[in-house]
Amino acid sequence: MSEVVSLEAVLEILRAMHRITAEDPIWLRRGRRITILYEFEVDGELRSFRSTAEGSDWSFTEGTLSDDECNIVLRTDPAALYEVLHGVTGGREAMLSGRLSMRKDPEFPDLLLMRAMFNRYTKAKERGVLNDLGVGDVPESLVLPKKVGAGSADGDAGNA
């Protein structure tokens, strides 16, 4: 990828993803709790952000946690996660290429919750309702062209 995607742009997307999920009535009824640690490699440094959601309460702050405090740990660079979230690169493809790694707590039932968060964000973006939800769109300069065949099973952002 020739364009540079800023960490701030990806963080805005992640905040939107969590906000959309926290407002979902099914999520609220189930009373789900999830803690995700995002580790971004930026200019040779590791920047960590933790996200915890329980019902409609969620937080997204800079800082790290130990692996045993997290349900999921994602390590990547901002551009790779941006590409996965926007269907330019599939989650499996990013993991196989080494651009994205994920660790999951063995006691965490499955990754369906993470996939649901990705899908809710994608659907809100496609419907053009991000601004209605108080979430600004990613600046035009950061929008990447969608790769041909990105709708296939391997190109589905929900496979992350």
Q: What pTM did the predictor assign?
A: 0.72
Residue 145 to residue 87: CA distance in whole angstroms: 9
Where are the domains positioned within the chain? Answer: 7-133
Tell me the backbone φ, ψ of residue 73, rounded to 5 degrees.
Answer: -125, 120
pLDDT recorded at residue 103: 87
- Domain 7-133: CATH superfamily, name plus number: SCP2 sterol-binding domain (3.30.1050.10)
Residue 142 to residue 37: CA distance in whole angstroms: 24
pLDDT recorded at residue 100: 92
- For the chain, the straight-line distance linking the first and the last C-alpha, in angstroms and rounded, comes to 19
pLDDT recorded at residue 132: 62
pLDDT recorded at residue 110: 56
pLDDT recorded at residue 63: 95
pLDDT recorded at residue 39: 96
pLDDT recorded at residue 48: 97
> CA torsion sign, 80 to 83 to 88 to 92?
positive
List, run by run, the mean pLDDT of 10-residue segments along the chain (160 residues): 74 82 65 84 94 79 90 92 85 91 77 71 73 54 43 40
